[in-house]
Structure 1
Amino acid sequence: MLLFVAVVWYLHVVSKYITATAQGLISNPLWSNPNITLKQDVRIAIAKEAIERARVMLDEKQLQNGTYYGATARLYSQMAEFDTLTNQTTYQGQLYQAFEKARYVREDFLDYTSYGVAALRAYAAYGNESFIKFAEVAWNSAMSCTMSSEAYQSGQLCNQNVTDLKESCEGAEIITNTTHYLDLATRAADFVLHHLADPQGAIQDSINERTCEVTEESRPHNAGLVLEGLAILSTANHYPRFEDSLLRVLNNTVTSKIWQSDNGIISSDGGQYILRGLSVIYQRALLSQDVRNYIKNYIGVQYNAVLANSRVAQNPNIYSGSWTGPPSTGYSIQNQTNAISVLLAAIPLPEDTAPAASEPTEPDAPNDRKRSLKIGIILGAVFGGIVCLTLLAGIAFILVNCKQLFRSTMHLDQARSKSKATKGRNDRTPRPFIMDYDTKPRPRKYMNYHSVSAAPIPSIRISPGTGNSNTTPMAGPSNQFDNGTTSGNDSDAPKLGYIPTSELVRVLNDRLQPEHWRDDEVPPEYASQRG
């Protein structure tokens, strides 16, 4: 299975993307916390700290004696993938030295094709031809364990004697070995889909080469490796036929109840391969947006579960093997690299819009969800009532103020109207006469011609030669010119004896000016009185 992945990874280096579509892939509403709320730079920092912790705690002696040989290859692959996702070359030099050492721990990476996958990931990250050579070494080592025509005829497979080998099962050949990478990849894919995949897309564990009997047991690592291989192979221009198979396996893997419960959290070892396969699909196969959202949500479930349930209390950069919790206190490179696969898969995902949170918390239990729902309804009702009362109070306040403002505006308009009317009467043009004896403002009384005719007009006698006059004080309108009483000895005040008739006529005209005359109306008669 790993050889198949190694082959398609080689094809990925030169492959082009295509578009695939799928129907019916809908996120399960029971999935626990699928949203990605941490910013990408925070996710990158978390993944890097986990990788650094794995490197520090990797015992060189245990690596040399082969204890952590397989998990170490997975760590090398993750270091290269981290640089790919962050567009860096942080681990390039370290990886080259690490491959040199690992090659001689087990000659030519014997029985561990995972080093070939890691070398190809490193080549994809850095473009360094040295990593291709490491991949070819792993390839040649694994080729002895693939079924070929020579192995079938000689009875030798993986340096062991085997007999009664079948050349085909149910009409489909089981010989996949060839000298061409592309042919080997397509043969391996056809072999898996025909012999190990059921109609629903579940990947079985193995097939007996003598009886063609399939071991009906699905494991997450097999499903993840097939997803990764089909994702890369389906991006080749000439192999779109694998798209339907990819989507079928994808749907079965994500919905399987063998390694997860209704909350969607993977509880079986090997889940890291599923996350790696889904990450390859998300990044490299240009699927429809619905499928990408489906994958994103599933990765989000695992990511939040690892952060909430798998971190060791003494050191948050160390992760236990259980993603469902509670975390163990021990440490192993296997558990750490399993978690790193999830941390890396979440890096390229877009951030969801959600309330700010430092890190995801443990998912609520079903009863807690119900209580939270009731509390939310109560709080929503209370908040809604407060908002309604606030709105009503605001509306009442606005209406009262508007009413007061309206009244004030009415009074102001009336005052302005009076002022304009008065000014209009005083400033009406044309005005034949202007009175400017007294500049003090005086209240005026409007009068019509009846009141004018009824008012007594003083009779003025002028004594020639003396300049003195006998006057009878005027009543009515004449008093409007005096805003108070002046002394007869005040030389500054105008004396009636000095007012000529023309001035009196002008005064009368000024008083009558506000009135409107008709063309056929005759002037009023004036009654004279003598004192």
Structure 2
Amino acid sequence: MLPLSLLLTPLVAKAAAQLPGPSWRKPSITTSLEDRISVAQGAISRAISQLDSTNFMFPDPTHSYPRSGTLYSQLAEFDQLTNQSRYAADLGGYYGSAKTVLDNMGAKNFSGFNVLNDGLTFGHGAAIAYKTYNVPIFLQYAKQSWWAAVPYTLTQTALDAGKIASKSFNLSSSCQGISMAGGVFWNKDVNNSDIVMIATGAFFILSAMLAEATADAMYLAAAVQSMSFIRSHLYNDQGLVRDGISARATDNCALDKVGLFAYDSGPMIEGLAVLYSVSQNTTYRDMLDELISAALKTNSWQNETGIIQNGVGHTGDMMIPRALVAAYSRNATSPSLRPSIRAYLAVQYNAVADLATQNNSNIYGAYWSGPAGTKFDTGYQTNAIQALISAFALDDPASPSSSGFSSQAPPRATNSISPGPTPPPKAKASVGAIVGAIVGGIIALCLLGLLLLRWRRKRRDMRQLTMPFPNSALDIKDASAGDGHSPSRPAAPNPKRRILPVRRAPSQSPSSESWAAPPPTPASGEARADLQELSPWPLSVKQRSVSVVAVGRGQPELTTEELLRMLYNRMNGANTSMRVVDEEALPEYRTA
């Protein structure tokens, strides 16, 4: 781990405000948020339509499974950025099915077949899903993914011993006099010595996100250690992140010489953004400012248009947009840098929407600067989806934290209420109108109570339907709005909408051996309860059968009082003071 004295060594002076390049293509958003959501929904629906209906992963999971994890992550981020729960129930089934498939193929706990970062993609999505929906099963999946990578992560103990159980060679304990602790091997092959940024960065991000979600010092320490490794060993003289380094003692700290890529600097940006939001340590904010400034100015993966053209193929890449929206939404940078981030994200959105697709096909190609894609490809599509959903954060140019995204955990009950603005002196409420509103509200609640009683009877009847989980329980045509060709236009996001778990099982702290144990599946009692919490309410007749099957038999009936409470909460912006008393409270942890 980087010594504290080196970590706090003065860095390059904080970057001044970076104005958009004079030739950046379309550095502002003119499309309404509603239209942006509709465009992204079309791309997502097209991707969902390509999932195998038997396991809800892209075909040929041996090679395509990391793209499935990427899509899951994007579904959760879509809901997070729009304050919706559109994909909540879907993701519960997708993760349960994917875990079963991967376990049966030998990739336990989303660990990946050969490459570590592929498995960590599922952990990233699970962490976002937990943050978005506040359902413990997703936190368990994220923890299991994290623990699966631990045996391939360099610790100081392993370095002092010169050996790690997962590798067959002797380790370099340090390079240039600085510890190698925190680096993560890219490949599970016992002879592969590469510590690669995409694996180390994925572990860094997931560690920081778990620290954000749990306030557990173990995850925070792991995040800081990996961040220190990257800063010490993988930065180049331009302040950007290189691809990797060998940990084999006989290789003498040899660096990869494959060039600079967006997917290497992107994870460091995202990890620093989360780490700063957790710790509020200004050192991390300064590092973030410098790296973002360098990333926006480099010509290593973009030309004068500002459009990402990564690698020798000049293809689009999702990692910088995903990282920038994490930093922007968490307010993790200096205010002077925010206009440049907005402009850069706008450039990517406009390029993808204008140049990477055609004829409302909802198929996106590899090249964000054109030509448009004509054939569906999982990698190209998920890259484009990230650029599209990242633009959701740019809704209100006037606000310093303009986004429907909240980096905070779902709100907790408080004993104080902030006073509203003082009304104008001449503004007087009509007493008659107030009384009428109260009476009308009481009558409306009575009518709703009667409707709820009828709904309960029908729901009980529907429990007689039994189908295997998850194949029948999660009908993609029912779960997603529209098909891949003509998605329905979503309603404008409701910033008050939340998913309020009615009952939550306490999450368990991982032990030193828990990375080897499979996490609970959505077929368990806890998962069924979690999926029940996710089900949108009230449901259509067809959706009710799906919800009942996902919940399973033997679950306790909700009382009329509980149902009314759920309805009241959702109609009134999920007022946390109405939560049931036995709900497990999230730890108090500052995240913004």
TM-score interval (norm. to shorter): 0.5 to 0.7
2:26 maps to which residue? Answer: 33
Q: Quick one: distance in 1 between partners of 2:141 and 2:392?
A: 27
Q: List aligned pairs for 1:61-140, cutoff 5 A.
A: 62-63=58-59, 65-104=61-100, 105=102, 106-111=107-112, 112-140=119-147
Query: Following the alignment from structure 1 to structure 2, what is the Cα–Cα distance between the partners of residues 156 and 54?
Result: 43
1:153 to 1:22, Cα distance in 2 relative to 1, 3 A: closer
Note the alpha carbon deviations across 1:147-194, whole angstroms, 9 max, x for none.
12454366654733122x111111211122898111111111111011
Q: Distance in 2 between matches of 1:187 and 1:194?
A: 11
Aligned: 1:254 with 2:318: no
The alpha-carbon distance between structure 1 residues 352 and 176, as it changes in their structure 2 partners (threshold 3 A), is closer
Contact kept in structure 1, 2:238 and 2:294, CA below 8 Å: yes
Q: Deviations over 1:376-415 (max 9, x none)?
A: xxxxxxxxxxxxxxxxxxxxxxxxxxxxxxxxxxxxxxxx
Q: Is the 8 A contact 2:273 2:327 kept in 1?
A: yes
1:157–1:63 Cα change, 3 Å: farther
- 2:217 aligned with 1:171: no
Is 2:365 the counterpart of 1:320? Answer: yes
**1:216-271 CA deviation, whole Å, 9 max, x = no partner?**
42111111111100111122335221122111111111111111111111112462
Report if aligned partners of 1:312, 1:320 keep a CA contact under 8 Å in 2: no
CA radius of gyration, larger in: 1
Q: 1:301 aligns with which of 347, 351, 358?
A: 347
In the alignment, residue 76 of structure 2 is paired with which amino acid? A
In 2: Cα distance, 1:302 partner to 1:158 partner: 43
Distance, in Å, in 1 between the alignment partners of 2:243 and 2:179 is 18
> Partner of 1:285: helix, strand, or coil?
coil
Match of 1:214 in 2: 255
Which residue of 2 is the match for residue 377 of structure 1? none
- In the other structure, the counterpart of 1:335 is 380
- What is the distance in 1 between the residues matched to 2:306 and 2:27? 9
Q: How does 1:406-425 map to 2 (within 5 A)?
A: none
Query: Is the partner of 1:144 in helix, strand or coil?
Result: helix
Query: C-alpha offsets along residues 183-224 of structure 1, whole Å, 9 cap, x if unaligned?
Result: 111111111011111243110000121312222421111111
User: SS at the partner of 1:254?
Assistant: helix
Shift of 1:286: 4.4
Q: Is the 8 A contact 1:230 1:246 kept in 2?
A: yes
Counterpart pick for 1:43 among 27, 36, 51: 36
Residue type at the aligned position of 1:310: A
- Select between 171-180 and 267-276 the one with higher mean Cα deviation: 171-180
Query: Does structure 2 conserve the Cα–Cα contact (< 8 Å) formed by 1:220 and 1:259?
Result: yes
Aligned equivalent of 1:348 = 393
What is the CA-CA distance between 1:31 and the residue it aligns to? 0.4
Residue 200 (str. 1) matches residue 238 (str. 2): yes
| AA partner of residue 55 (structure 1) | I
SS at match of 1:317: coil
The aligned counterpart of 1:56 is: 49
- SS of the residue corresponding to residue 371 of structure 2 reads coil
CA shift for structure 1 position 126: 0.4
Greater shift, 30-39 or 142-151, is seen at 142-151
| Distance in 1, Cα, partners of 2:236 & 2:125 | 29
CA distance in 2: counterparts of 1:187 and 1:71, whole angstroms: 28
Q: Judging changes above 3 Å, is the alpha-carbon distance between structure 1 residues 351 and 149 closer, same or farther for their aligned structure 2 residues?
A: closer
**Which whole-Å CA distance do the structure 2 matches of 1:241 and 1:88 have between them?**
34
Q: 1:108 to 1:155 in 2, by over 3 A?
A: farther
Distance 1:259 1:40 in 2: 28
* TM-aligned CA deviation for residue 22 of structure 1: 4.4
Match of 2:273 among 231, 241, 244: 231
The amino acid that maps onto 1:133 is Q
Quote the Cα distance in structure 1 between the aligned partners of 2:282 and 2:59.
41
Give the CA RMSD over aligned residues: 2.3
Per-residue CA deviations over 1:265-315 (Å, capped at 9, x if unaligned) read 1112462100000111110024344311110001111111111110044x4
Provide the rounded CA distance (Å) in 1 between the counterparts of 2:281 and 2:178: 19
Normalising to structure 1: TM-score of the pair? Answer: 0.59
Is 1:191 the equivalent of 2:229?
Answer: yes
Give the superposition deviation at 1:86: 1.2
Once residues 239 and 275 of structure 1 are traced to their aligned partners in structure 2, the CA distance between those partners, rounded to angstroms, is 23
Contact kept in structure 1, 2:276 and 2:332, CA below 8 Å: no
Q: Would you say the 8 A contact 2:289–2:333 is kept in 1? A: no
**Structure 1: segments with no counterpart, 5+ residues:** 1-19, 354-531
Determine helix, strand or coil for the equivalent of 1:89.
coil
Q: Distance in 2 between matches of 1:225 and 1:278?
A: 10
- Residues of 1 paired with 2:222 and 2:302: CA distance? 33
Normalised TM-score (structure 2): 0.53
- Cα offsets for 1:8-50 (capped at 9, x unmatched): xxxxxxxxxxxx9741422111101111000111111111121
Deviation at 1:79, TM superposition (A): 0.3
Cα distance change, pair 158–204 in 1 and its aligned pair in 2 (3 A): farther
Which structure's residues are more often strand, by fraction? 1
Whether 2:141 is the aligned partner of 1:148: answer no
Counterpart residue number, 2:537: none
Instruction: Give the SS at the match of 2:363.
Output: strand
Does the 8 Å CA contact 1:227/1:277 hold for their aligned counterparts?
yes
Counterpart contact for 1:22–1:288, Cα < 8 Å? no
The question of whether the paired residues in 1 share the 8 Å contact of 2:285 and 2:332 is answered with: no
In the TM superposition, residue 63 of structure 1 has moved relative to its aligned partner by 4.2
User: Which has the higher relative contact order, 1 or 2, with Cα contacts under 8 A spaced 6 or more apart?
Assistant: 2
Change (3 A) 1:45 1:238: closer
1:138 counterpart letter in structure 2: S
Q: Partner of 2:256: helix, strand, or coil?
A: strand
Quote the Cα distance in structure 2 between the aligned partners of 1:304 and 1:173.
43
Give % identity. 32
The corresponding residue for 2:436 is none
Which residue matches 2:336?
290
Change in CA separation of 1:219 and 1:156 when aligned onto 2, cut-off 3 Å = same
Q: What residue is the counterpart of 2:306 in the other structure?
A: 264
Q: Which amino acid aligns with 1:339?
A: A
Report the AA paired with residue 144 of structure 1: P
Q: Distance in 1 between matches of 2:163 and 2:376?
A: 41
Classify 1:327/1:167 alpha carbon distance in 2 versus 1 (closer, same or farther; 3 Å). same
Q: What letter matches 2:236 in structure 1?
A: D
Does the CA-based 8 Å contact 1:123-1:129 persist in structure 2? yes
Corresponding residue SS for 1:207: strand
TM-aligned CA distance change 1:204 to 1:286, over 3 Å = closer
Deviation, 1:140, is 1.0
Distance in structure 2 (CA, Å) of the matches to 1:158 and 1:342: 39
